[in-house]
Amino acid sequence: MKKYVSLLLVCFLIPGCAKQEIIDRIKIVQSIGLDVQGDTYKSSISYASYDKKKRLDPITAEALTLPGVWLPQNTKSDDQVVLGQVRTIVISEKLARKSISDLAVNLLRDPTISNNAAIVISKPEISTVISKTFRDPPFYLAGLIKQNMEKGNTPLTNAHYVLDQFYGDGQDVYVPVLNLDENGLIFMDGLGVFKDDKLRLFLTEKESLLLKLLKDKPKSMTGSYEFKWKNDEAVYFRVLHGRRKILFEQNDHVTISLKLYLQIKGLPKNKNYDNKSNLLELEQDIKQHLTNEIEVMLKKFQMNDVDPIGFGEIFRSNHRNWNEQEFKKDTYSKLYFEVNPEIVILYSGVGVSAQ
């Protein structure tokens, strides 16, 4: 048994058995920005920096292939650049319109990128956005996106979902969109929906909430919504949680029943929150409004031939012999949607407004 001791001691003499990545001597990348110009891929990397004294610049790279630009060469950095904690991957609109299949293949094969990373499209230039993230505390962008997914109007999506939707049949990819406002702050600006691997159409903030209601799990069906009621009065409510069921009646008839639990935040001034008939009327109106909006959005999807809600997937799970091509060509455009939301107003505040 002495042999194992000596063997083990020999092992200790081997210097640098595994490559060391000492935590304060590496550059921990927090977001990658990808762009394409013609045939060249460009990337811009922002890293988390806790040392106030060092200069903060994004590291840029150019290459002919996406993997070449994914982990940039360390020619521009004094420490090793590592991708283990990447939280956001920002792609430019140009790249999205060209194709994301390279990106998907890269994500699939890389074991170091966490599946929790968020993929977003950015409307303004990549370099602006990435250098903006340097001014903010580390992982600000990741926190912004995550917070919006949990409590705001963005549906839950991350690298895993994107890959899932990309390779899955009967489901199209949708990805949040970033934009810069006039003060230079980054904000979430709706969604981008892909057809196969190319960007097809943009959705507004409101539509992205509707998509969230149709797609997300019950606990994360949250968001805030406002619309103009009759007489040009505005109503603002928050969705707390909800339930959803999508059923197929006959071959072309799809029923979507939603049950939403709301918290009314903003009512027109002359309405009383406590009045029962007021609230019922409000419920009816919200119901009507939502039904209209959702049906309009679904028709828009049909016209553009995209399926981010995944009706193809739901069809596949109900029919034995399902063919993706057939579905896309024939059935999808002929689907007739019937939306039945049911609204439950849970809370409307702890005070009584005047009157």
Residue 45 sits in the site that holds other proteins (CB under 8 A): no
Given 62, 76, 101, 108, the residue binding other proteins (CB under 8 A) = 108
Contacting other proteins within 193-212 (CB under 8 A): none
CB of 93 to other proteins, least distance (A): 25
Residue 163 sits in the site that holds other proteins (CB under 8 A): yes
Given 116, 147, 275, 292, the residue binding other proteins (CB under 8 A) = 116
Contacting other proteins within 63-102 (CB under 8 A): 82, 84-85, 87
- Tokens 């091509």 locate to 325
Q: Is the dihedral of CA 314, 315, 319, 322 positive or negative?
A: negative
Of 219 and 228, CB closest to other proteins: 219
How far, in Å, CA of 239 to CA of 233, rounded?
20
Residue 37 sits in the site that holds other proteins (CB under 8 A): no
Given 57, 79, 169, 295, the residue binding other proteins (CB under 8 A) = 169
Residue 175 sits in the site that holds other proteins (CB under 8 A): no
Bridge partners for 279 per DSSP: none
Residue 243 sits in the site that holds other proteins (CB under 8 A): no
Of 58 and 312, CB closest to other proteins: 312
Residue 318 sits in the site that holds other proteins (CB under 8 A): yes
CB of 80 to other proteins, least distance (A): 11
Using left for φ > 0, alpha for ψ between -120 and 50, and beta otherwise, residue 266 falls in: beta
The stretch among 65-73, 253-261, 275-283, 308-316 that binds other proteins (CB under 8 A) is 308-316
CA-based radius of gyration for the chain: 25
Residue 14 sits in the site that holds other proteins (CB under 8 A): yes
Residue 56 sits in the site that holds other proteins (CB under 8 A): no
The stretch among 47-55, 221-229, 237-245, 341-349 that binds other proteins (CB under 8 A) is 47-55
Of 3 and 55, CB closest to other proteins: 3
Q: Is the dihedral of CA 127, 132, 137, 140 positive or negative?
A: negative
The stretch among 17-25, 66-74, 95-103, 295-303 that binds other proteins (CB under 8 A) is 17-25
CB of 5 to other proteins, least distance (A): 9
Residue 352 sits in the site that holds other proteins (CB under 8 A): no
How far, in Å, CA of 212 to CA of 215, rounded?
5
The stretch among 88-96, 138-146, 187-195, 204-212 that binds other proteins (CB under 8 A) is 138-146
Of 22 and 354, CB closest to other proteins: 22
Residue 317 sits in the site that holds other proteins (CB under 8 A): yes
Residue 114 sits in the site that holds other proteins (CB under 8 A): yes
3-state SS, one letter per residue, for the chain: CHHHHHHHHHHHCCCCCCCCCCCCCEEEEEEEEEEEECCEEEEEEEEECCCCCCCCCCEEEEECCHHHHHCCCHHHCCCEEECCCCCEEEEEHHHHHHCCHHHHHHHHHCCCCCCCCEEEEECCCHHHHHHHHHHCCCCHHHHHHHHHHHHCCCCCCCHHHHHHHHHCCCCCCEEEEEEECCCCCEEEEEEEEEECCEEEEEECHHHHHHHHHHHCCHHHCCEEEEEECHHHCEEEEEEEEEEEEEEECCCCEEEEEEEEEEEEEECCCCCCCCCHHHHHHHHHHHHHHHHHHHHHHHHHHHHHCCCCCCHHHHHHHHCCCCCHHHHHHHHHHHCEEEEEEEEEEEECCCCCCCC
Residue 282 sits in the site that holds other proteins (CB under 8 A): no
Of 139 and 273, CB closest to other proteins: 139
Residues of this chain that bind other proteins (CB under 8 A)? 1, 3-4, 7-8, 11-12, 14, 17-24, 26, 28, 48, 50-51, 82, 84-85, 87, 108, 111-112, 114-116, 138-139, 142, 158, 160, 163-169, 171, 217, 313-314, 316-320
